[in-house]
Structure 1
Amino acid sequence: MSGVNLSTASHNWIHAVNRLPSLQQLYFNSELHGTIPAGFGNLTRLTRLDLTGNSLAGSIPADIWSLTSLTLLDLSHNLFTSRLLPQIGNMTRLSQLTLVHCSLVGSIPTEIGYLTSLTDLSLSGNSRSGFIPPEIGKLSNLITLDLSSSYLEGTVSERHLANTTKLIVLCLYDNPLAMQFHHNWVPPFQLQTVKLDAIKLGPTFPTWLRSQKSIMDLDMSNTSIQDAVPHWFWKNSSSSSIMDINLSHNQISGTLPAIPPDICDLQQLYALDLSNNQISGEIPNCWREATKLFFVNLANNRLLSGRIPPSLRYCNRLAIIDLGDNKFSGDIPTWIGQSLQNLEVLRLRSNMFSGNIPMQLGQLRDLQIIDLSDNRLSGSVPHSLGNFSAMISISNIDLSDNELSGVIPTEIGSLFALQTLNLSRNSFGGRIPAAIGRMKSLETLDLSFNELSGVIPESFSALDSLSHLNLSYNNLSGVIPSGNQLRTLDDASIYIGNAYLCGPPVTKSCFNETNADFVEENKTESDVLSFNFGIALGYLVGLWRNTK
C-alpha cells in the first residue's frame, strides 16, 4: 500500500498501521492525544510520515529514527517533551525535516550533518537550548533553514554556512544568537528571504549582504546596528525585487538626503520600516507613481523640520503611513485625502504640524487608524470626519494635545464601532454631543482639559462597553448620570475640576441645586438624537494611539 490518510482518531491507530508493512506514506492530521506507542520500526518502507497538528505528548519513540527510508518527517504542532537523538544521523534520505512548535528540548545533535539530502530544515518555535552545531554547514542541498524562536545561543560563523550553496531562506530570528563573519566574507548562496530580527548583527552594518542580489524579504530589526545604511545596500535593493525592508529598532544613523536616489527606484517595494532609529534629514522628494508601496514607517527618528514631500502623493497604493515622533511641520497636506484613497492608517503624532485638520481627510473611506495627537493643530474638527466608513472592530481616535477649538461635531456619533475617543487637552467648547451615547462600542472616552460646559448627557448611560472615562477639568455642571455602566465608574477623579457637578461619585450634593440647565440640556439632547445620520449610520473610524 502506497499511502494512508487517517482523518479520525483511533486508540488503536498504530496497531492498524502495523498490519500494513508495505505502507509508504502515512498522514495522520487529526486530534490524536496521548503518546506515540512504539511500533514504527516495522514500517521499513515508509517514505513520508506526517503527524502534524495533533496533541501528542511524551517522547518521540526511538524507532522512528530507524526509518531510514523516510524522505519527509513532519511532527509539527504537537506537545512532545523530547530530544532529537543522535540516531537521526541514520536518516540520510531525508529531504524535509519539519519539527515546528512541538516542544522539543535540548541541543541539536551534531549528527544532523549526515543528512546531506536535506533541502528543508525547520525546527522553529521549540524550547530547546544550546548551540547551533557547525555541522549544519555540511548540508549542501539545503534550501530552507529555519531555527527561529528556539532559545538557541552562541555565535553563527562562516563555518555554519560554508557549503550551503543552494540556501534561499534563512530564518534565525528571536534567538539569543550573534552572527559574526569576517569583513570580507562572501557567502556561497543567494538569499531571497532573510529573517534575522532580534539577534545580534551590529554594531556595524553586515557587509556580507553586499553580495546578495536576490533578496525579496529582509528583516534586521532590533539587531544592535549602530551604523549608517551604506549606499551599496540601496543600490543592490533597487536592482533586485525586494518587497519588504525592516531595519527598525536599531541605532541607524545618517541622513535621508545622503541616501542615493536608488531608494526611490525600489519599484517592487511593498513595505519600508526605518522607525525607531536615529535617522535625520528629510524624506526624499522622489517617490514615483509606479511604486507599489503599501506601508511606510519612519516614526521615532530625528527627521528635521520640513513638510511631507508632495511626491508621496503618487504612491497611490499606500495603506499605512507612520511619520510619528519626528519634527515635521507645516500644514497636513490636503492631497493625503485626495490622492491616497487606499489609506487605512495615518499616524502623524508628536510632530509640529500646524493649521487645521483638512476636511479632505473625510474622503478616506477606508481609513481605520488616525493619530494626529501632540501637534500644534488648531481650528475646529471638520464635520467630514463622520464620513469614515471602515468597519473595524478595534479602533481609536486620538486628537489630543493640540490647539483645537469649536464644538465637538455631532457627526462623530455615527462612528458606531469606535472603541477609543481621545480629544483631551484642547480648547473644545460648547456642550458634549448627546450623539456620543450612540457609540455602543466605545470603551475609552477622554474629554478632559477642555472648555466644555453644560450637563453630562444622560445618553452616556447607554454606553454599555465604557470602562475608562475622563471628563475632568472642564466647566460641566448638573447631576452626574448614574445609569447602567456608569454606575461601575465610581472614581471621583473622573469629574475633578468641574466645580458645578453634583451627585455620586463626587461629594457635592445635588439637593437644592437648580435644574434649569438640566432641563434645557435634555431638550438639546433630544434635538441632537433626532439628527438624521442617513446612510452614514454604521460608520466607524479607527484611530491609533501609542503611548508617548
Structure 2
Amino acid sequence: MDSHWVPPFNLDTAWLSSCNLGPQFPTWFRWQKSIRELEMSNTGLVSRIPDWFWETFSQATHLDLSSNQLSGELPFNLDFMSVVALSMQSNQLTGLIPKLPRTIELLDISRNSLDGFVPNFQAPHLEVAVLFSNSITGTIPTSICRLQKLRVLDLSNNMLSKELPDCGQKELKPQNQSSNNSTGVNSLSFFSLKITTLLLSNNSFSGGFPLFLQQCQNLSFLDLSQNKFTGELPRWISKSMPGLVILRLRSNNFFGQIPNEIMGLQDVCILDLSNNNFSGAIPPYMENLKALIGTAATDDYTPVDDPFAEDYSDKYGLADMGMSNDSLSVVIKGQVLEYTENALYLMSIDLSCNSLTGEIPVKLSALAGLINLNLSSNMLSGNIPYKIGNLRLLESLDLSKNILGGQIPWSLSNLTYLSRLNLSYNNLSGRIPSGNQLDILGTDDAAYMYIGNPGLCGHPVLRQCPGPPRDPPTNGEPTRLPEDGLSQIDFLLGSIIGFVAATWMVFFGLLFMKRWRYAYFGLLDKLYDRLYVISVVTWQKWFGPRV
C-alpha cells in the first residue's frame, strides 16, 4: 500500500497475522479508529511504534503485535485506553512497563528489554501478566498485593532482587484506608490472592520463603528456582497451597530439614528441591504423593488439573501467547532439557546436590507413575530399596555420589523404560544385575554407570565374579545368598553334625554296655591276629631265605 493511501472503509476487525506488512508500520491504519480487534503478529515489522498508534486504537479491546521487531519505549501512561488483552511479546521494546488501562485483563510483553515498573503500578482487573525474559530490575511493587483478580504472574528470567512483599496490613493499607480499624482487621483476615501460577525463576530474589504464599490457596504452579532465597521451608506449604502441581525450589540457599508435611501435596507431579543445603533424612510417607502413584494403566489414576488448562489464548482471541512458549528446565538423563506445557506429565522428584542423610525410604517404590528420580550428590546410606523395580515407568534413575551399600537389586531389570542409570561413586558390592534394559544402557561406556564401586563385579566392569553366572531371583525378595552356596553350607554342616553324633553314640555304647565292650575288643584281637599272620607269611614268602 502507498504510504499516503487513505482507505475508503472503517474496519471493525483486522486479522493479519503472518502477513508481510513490514518493514515499516502501515500508515493507513491511522484512519482505522473503529477497530476493536487487531492482530498483527509475525508481520515483519521492523520500526518504532508510531505515536498515533495508541490514540487511534484507544477503543480497541484486543491488540496483538507480537513476534515482530518493534522498538522504542511504551508510553508512560496507557490509562486512557480500553484494551482488555495486550500482547507485544518477542519484540525489542525498552523502558518501563507503563501505567496500564483499568480495563486490561491480559498483558503479555515477554521477550523484550523492558527494565522496570512505573510508580504505583495498578490494574484492578488484571488476570494474566506474562513478563518473562526482560531486563526488569528492582523489586516487585507492593501494589501486586491488591491485584485480587491476578491468576498468572510470570516474571522469570529478569534481574529482580531483594525480598518479595509479604502482602500484610502495611501493603493493604491504601485499599482499606477509608475503613475503620476493626473493618481493616476483618478484611485482612479474609484476604486471599487468586494466583494459580507464579513463575519467578532466574532472578536474584532473597529473604525467606515468601510469606504472602500463605494467602494463595489456589496456587498450582510455583517456581522459585535459581534465586537467593534462604531459611527453612515452612510447614504450612501443604496446608496453605494444597493444590500444588509443580513445586520448584532448585538452586537457592534453603537449609534445614525437608518438612514431613511436604508429603501432603497429593497433586504434586514435579518436586524439585535440588541444589540447596537441605540436611537430615528424606521425609517418609512418600505414598501420600497420590499424583505420582496412579498411572494411566491403573484403575486408581486420577488426572491432575493442568495449571495451563485455562486457555487464555482462546479466551482473549490471541494467536499466540508467551506463556505457552515459556519453558521449564529439568535435569533428567544427565542433561538439562527444556519442557513447555507438557512438563506436567514429566512426573519427577529431584533432591540432588544437598546434604541429605539416612536411607532411601522403602515407600518410594509405591510411586509407580514416577519418570525421573534424582537423589545424587547427597550422603544417603543403606541399601537401594529392593522393590525399586516397581517403578515401571522410570526413564532416568540417578543415585550417584552417595554412601549406598549392599548389592544392586535384581529388580532393576524390570525397568523396561529405563534409558539412563547412574549408580557411580557409592559402596555397592556384589554381582551387577543384567537382563532387559540393563544390557543396552550406556553402550558407549557402560562401565561409567558403576564406576567408583570397587566391590562390584561382572559385566560391564572389569572385575569378574567368582563362580558361574546365576539367574536373577524371581520372587522380588531382598538380596540373599545364592541357593547353590546355601546347599554346600548345609551339606558340610550336616556332615560335621552327623560325624560327631555317630562318634558319641559308639563311645557311650562301649562305656555302658559290657557285652559290647567284650565283643568290640575281641573283634579287635582277632583282627590283629589275622593281620599279624598275613603279614608274617607274606614277608617270608617274598623276603625269606630260599631253599
What is the TM-score normalised by the length of structure 1? 0.68
- Shift in Å, 1:465: 0.5
From 413, 434, 442, give the equivalent of 1:461: 413
Structure 1 residues 326 and 211, CA, compared in 2 at 3 Å: closer, same or farther? closer
CA spacing shift, 1:377–1:165, aligned 2, 3 Å: closer
CA contact (8 A) 1:418 1:442 kept: yes
Q: What is the Cα deviation at residue 458 of structure 1?
A: 0.7
Unaligned runs of 5+ in 2: 169-187, 295-343, 481-547
One-letter identity of the residue aligned with 1:524 = P
Structure 1 211/501 Cα, relative in aligned 2: closer, same or farther at 3 Å? closer
Give the partner amino acid of 2:137: S
Q: Which residue of 2 aligns with 1:232?
A: 120
Of 310-319 and 358-367, the range deviating more from structure 2: 310-319
The C-alpha deviation readout for 1:445-482, integer Å capped at 9, x for no partner, is 11000011111111111101000111111111112112
1:139-538 alignment, distance < 5 Å: 139-180=32-73, 189-202=81-94, 204-206=95-97, 209-210=98-99, 212-226=101-115, 228-233=116-121, 236-237=122-123, 240-256=124-140, 259-260=141-142, 262-286=143-167, 289-304=191-206, 306-390=207-291, 391=294, 393-489=345-441, 490=443, 491-512=446-467, 523-524=477-478
CA distance 1:280–1:115, change in 2 (3 Å): farther
**Secondary structure of the structure 1 residue equivalent to 2:167:** coil
What does residue 47 of structure 1 align with?
none
- CA–CA distance in 1 between the matches of 2:110 and 2:76? 23
1:369 to 1:113, Cα distance in 2 relative to 1, 3 A: farther
CA contact (8 A) 2:77 2:100 kept: no
- Preserved CA contact (<8 Å) 1:137 1:161: no
Please give the per-residue CA displacement for 1:197-217, whole angstroms capped at 9, x wherever unaligned: 111111x115xx326221111
* SS at 2:381 equivalent: strand
SS class of match (1:445): strand
1:514-547 alpha-carbon deviations (Å, 9 max, x no partner): 99xx99x975259xxxxxxxxxxxxxxxxxxxxx
Using the alignment, how far apart are the partners of 2:17 and 2:479 within structure 1? 58
The answer (yes or no) to whether the contact 1:437–1:463 under 8 Å persists in 2 is yes
Aligned letter for 2:69?
P
Equivalent-residue separation in structure 1 for 2:68 and 2:80 (angstroms): 24
Q: Aligned partners of 1:435 and 1:360: how far apart in 2?
A: 25
Bigger CA radius of gyration: 2
Shift of 1:374: 0.5
Aligned mates of 1:135, 1:187 — CA distance in 2: 25
Q: Distance in 1 between matches of 2:387 and 2:449?
A: 20
Amino acid at match of 1:440: R
User: Is contact 2:430-2:455 (8 Å) kept?
Assistant: yes
Structure 1 runs not aligned, ≥5 long: 1-85, 87-108, 527-548
Does the 8 A contact of 2:425 with 2:451 survive in 1?
Answer: yes
Kept in 1, the 8 Å contact 2:349–2:372? The answer is yes
- Per-residue CA deviations over 1:7-57 (Å, capped at 9, x if unaligned) read xxxxxxxxxxxxxxxxxxxxxxxxxxxxxxxxxxxxxxxxxxxxxxxxxxx
Q: Deviations over 1:297-354 (max 9, x none)?
A: 22221122x2224342121111121111112112111100122111111111111111
Amino acid at match of 2:377: R
CA 1:443–1:223: 2 relative to 1, 3 Å? same
Alpha-carbon distance between aligned partners in 1 of 2:415 and 2:5, rounded to the nearest angstrom = 60
1:510, distance to aligned residue in structure 2 (A): 1.6
**Aligned equivalent of 2:487:** none
How far residue 505 of structure 1 moved from its aligned partner, in angstroms, is: 1.7
Output one character per residue of 1:88-134: Cα deviation in whole Å (capped at 9) or x when no partner: xxxxxxxxxxxxxxxxxxxxx86996263322212224677644312
Match for 1:231: what amino acid? P
CA distance in 1, matches of 2:288, 2:433: 30
Residue matched to 1:41: none
2:439 is paired with a residue of what secondary structure?
Answer: helix
- Counterparts of 1:186 and 1:322 in 2: how far apart (Å)? 30
Cα distance in 2 between the residues matched to 1:111 and 1:317: 53
| Range with greater deviation from structure 2 (269-278 or 170-179) | 170-179
Secondary structure, aligned partner of 2:102: coil
How far apart, in 1, do the equivalents of 2:148 and 2:360 lie? 42
* Equivalent in the alignment of 2:529: none
Q: Using the alignment, how far apart are the partners of 1:509 and 1:402 within structure 2?
A: 34
AA partner of residue 205 (structure 1): L
* % identical equivalent positions: 36
Measure, in 2, the Cα distance between the counterparts of 1:458 and 1:514: 13
| SS state at 1:231 partner | coil
Contact 2:150–2:195 at 8 Å: present in 1 too?
yes
What is the match of residue 540 of structure 2?
A: none
Check the 8 A contact 2:58/2:83 in 1, yes or no.
Answer: no
Q: Matches of 1:452 and 1:398 in 2, distance apart?
A: 17
Q: Residues 309 and 210 of structure 1: is their aligned pair in 2 closer, same or farther, counting only changes over 3 Å?
A: closer
CA distance in 1, matches of 2:232, 2:468: 46
Contact 1:474 1:498 in 2 (8 A): yes
Q: 2 CA distance for matches of 1:419 and 1:128? A: 46
Work out whether residues 303 and 327 of structure 1, in 8 Å CA contact, stay in contact via their aligned partners in 2: yes
Deviation per CA, 1:414-436, whole angstroms, max 9, x where unpaired? 11111100000001111111222
| Structure 1 pair 408–244 and aligned structure 2 pair: CA distance change class (3 A) | same
SS for the counterpart of 2:408 is coil
The answer (yes or no) to whether the contact 1:138–1:164 under 8 Å persists in 2 is no
Q: Do the aligned partners of 2:407 and 2:479 also contact (CA within 8 Å) in 1? A: no
Distance 1:293 1:463, change over 3 A: same
Alpha-carbon offset, residue 499 of structure 1: 0.8
Say whether the 8 Å CA contact 1:125–1:148 is kept in structure 2: yes
Higher deviation after alignment, 191-200 or 211-220: 211-220
Equivalent-residue separation in structure 1 for 2:400 and 2:412 (angstroms): 16
In structure 2, C-alpha distance between the alignment counterparts of 1:127 and 1:455, rounded to whole Å? 65
Contact 2:386 2:477 in 1 (8 A): no
Superposition pairs for residues 37-186 of structure 1, below 5 Å? 114=7, 116-125=9-18, 130-180=23-73
More helix by share: 2
Residues in 1 aligned to 2:201 and 2:454: alpha-carbon distance in whole angstroms: 40
